[in-house]
Amino acid sequence: MAIVRNRLKSMIARAAHSLDGYQDLEAELTIELDIPKNSGHGDYATNFAFALAKRLKKNPRQIASELIANLADPDGLLEKVEIAGPGFVNFFINSSAWHEIIREVLNDPQNYGRLEAQGDFPVQVEFVSANPTGPLHIGHGRGAAIGDVLANLLEARGANVQREYYINDAGNQMDTLGRSLYYRYRQELGAGIEFPDNHYRGGYMRELAREFIGQRGETFRDTSLEEALPVFTEYASRRIFEGIKEDLDVFGVRFDNWFSERQLHERDLVRKTIDYLRERGFIYENEGALWFKSTAFGDEKDRVVVRANGVSTYFAADLAYHRDKFERGLKTVIDIWGADHHGYVDRILAGIQAMGKNRESVRVVLVQLVNLLRGGQPVAMSTRGGEFVTLREVVDEVGKDATRFIFLTRRTDSPLDFDLEVAKARSNDNPVYYVQYAHARLCRIFEVARERGFSFDWRSASAQSLHLLQVREELQLMKLLGEYPEVLGECARSLEPHYIPYYLHQLVSLFHGYYHDNRILGDDDRLTEARLCLALAVKEVIANALALLGVSAPEKM
């Protein structure tokens, strides 16, 4: 990619090669190019001389000056190079170099910043995976947004991504769910019975009971719990799961695969996985239970996989599940979990290592919890407790775009206060509208240009007029457009999407200021052409980034 930053980086690398002793260090040192806050320090700066100085036992300034002396710049990329402070090297780029970024963007706008698909490199992102015992809440929504965007991002960076939802449709919680519906059903039919503790008492269970009566009538009025339970369990889990799918759909989240925990048991994979681990020497018996020796891989204690009563644990199923993922040929598995599961990370990593996989083949992203507020007051959140705000209600009230954008503007491991009144009432000042407004504004410019009969084709226009872009904000915009691939790369490396919203804000802010001070459609046709090229590139990158975030890019608003 002919991006200024990369060209500069390889220039420095070549220069470094002729330094004494660099050959031994090349593998362990990477050249970092920083964009200085102070423009007096150049377009790019590097602290590379410091890193070398430590290893070569020489003065950083000395190394910096040798580095500069070795720089070869046949294309005239650099206008000026300086040594500053104790050994920074500051690079000033020739303004003509920025123009090629526009062509780079416009040549293939949808794919700008993306990488070619890397052939056979299947990666799975598993996310949400909420139990089908109640509607999705706001915390699931955060995980959904992050998982969805990480999947988009990895795909954009060349991975072959599969999105999967793991359905915990087994275990005694399913019985609890069925009983909850059964009791609500009886109550709705007038039976004066108590609703037991530790069951799902949310309003949705009452609705489900009424719906069930509408479908099946009073058939089960006098049926015993034991006899009726399978019907009620099946009905409740199916209907709740359908609701979850619908809520995700409304939130713009799609999955390639829905993986049922129950099928693990039906295919006998849980038992087979335990046998497999036993053959490898990681299973032992103690006090009537079967244990997995997770301490062999750094977990703080061993974990039970089959209880003394003969029933396997949730963890055992999860081991089987992860084994199955690799059986399916996945190279890397990314699990997105709520931060309240962090105690679980070590044991699952121990599990996959016991299966002969390396630790890096599973990456766990912990998403911190969401504190839902309304006007500064906490809103209670508990599935069994009953009253809580669902994801669907939040999306209906705040809007999909704003909800996603708020989730995606924080680091995943940072707790998030989500205030409904703030997200909604100040909607005009919401950062997502700031970005969308810029996009709509840009669309309008092209509409006006058409109305005025101004014909514009970026390919011919760019060749003859881009050199006219010399205003400071224009140079800054082009430079920032050039950073976009870097931003995507950082997101994909760190599995942190929040750099994208921050980048968008920066880009859009620069554009709004530029727009305010300069006319894009002016008297000089050549200059107008040039500015339209720039405007088009900005618009395309905004749309490109919003698409990755799953946020719409409206033409009008």
Site for RNA contains 401 (CB under 7 A): no
Residues 480-509 that bind RNA (CB under 7 A): 490, 494, 496, 498-499, 502, 505, 509
Considering the complex, what minimum distance in angstroms separates the CB of residue 119 from RNA?
A: 27
Helices 525-549 + 400-408 axis angle, to 10: 80
Residues 244-283 that bind RNA (CB under 7 A): none
Considering the complex, what minimum distance in angstroms separates the CB of residue 250 from RNA?
A: 21
Q: What are the Cα distances from residue 3, in Å, to 37, 98, 486, 530?
A: 20, 9, 10, 19
Token representation of residue 398: 């705040």
Residues 427-456 that bind RNA (CB under 7 A): 427-429, 431, 433-434, 437, 440-441, 443-445, 448
Amino acid type, 65:
S
Considering the complex, what minimum distance in angstroms separates the CB of residue 287 from RNA?
A: 3
Pick the closer one to RNA by CB: 307 or 467.
307
Site for RNA contains 233 (CB under 7 A): no
Q: What are the Cα distances from residue 330, in Å, to 148, 165, 266, 288, 544?
A: 18, 15, 22, 35, 28
What is the C-alpha to C-alpha distance for residues 155 and 548, in angstroms, rounded to an integer? 10
Residues 29-88 that bind RNA (CB under 7 A): 30, 32-34, 36-38, 40-42, 45, 47, 50-51, 53-54, 84-88
For residue 501, which of 534, 548, 461, 538 has the smallest C-alpha distance?
Answer: 548
Pick the closer one to RNA by CB: 211 or 417.
417
Out of 81, 225, 289, 475, the residue judged to bind RNA by CB under 7 A: 289
For residue 154, which of 516, 537, 489 has the smallest C-alpha distance?
Answer: 489
Spatial contact of 431 and 405, defined as CB atoms under 8 Å apart: yes
Total residues in contact with RNA, by rule CB under 7 A: 91
Out of 1, 117, 250, 308, the residue judged to bind RNA by CB under 7 A: 308
Site for RNA contains 242 (CB under 7 A): no
DSSP secondary structure string for all residues of 120-140: S-EEEEE-----TTS--BHHH
Site for RNA contains 287 (CB under 7 A): yes
Considering the complex, what minimum distance in angstroms separates the CB of residue 308 from RNA?
A: 3
Residues 136-175 that bind RNA (CB under 7 A): 168, 170-173
Q: What are the Cα distances from residue 381, in Å, to 137, 160, 174, 376, 387?
A: 8, 36, 21, 15, 7
Spatial contact of 127 and 146, defined as CB atoms under 8 Å apart: yes
What is the C-alpha to C-alpha distance for residues 155 and 174, in angstroms, rounded to an integer? 35
Considering the complex, what minimum distance in angstroms separates the CB of residue 373 from RNA?
A: 9
Considering the complex, what minimum distance in angstroms separates the CB of residue 409 from RNA?
A: 6
Considering the complex, what minimum distance in angstroms separates the CB of residue 110 from RNA?
A: 22
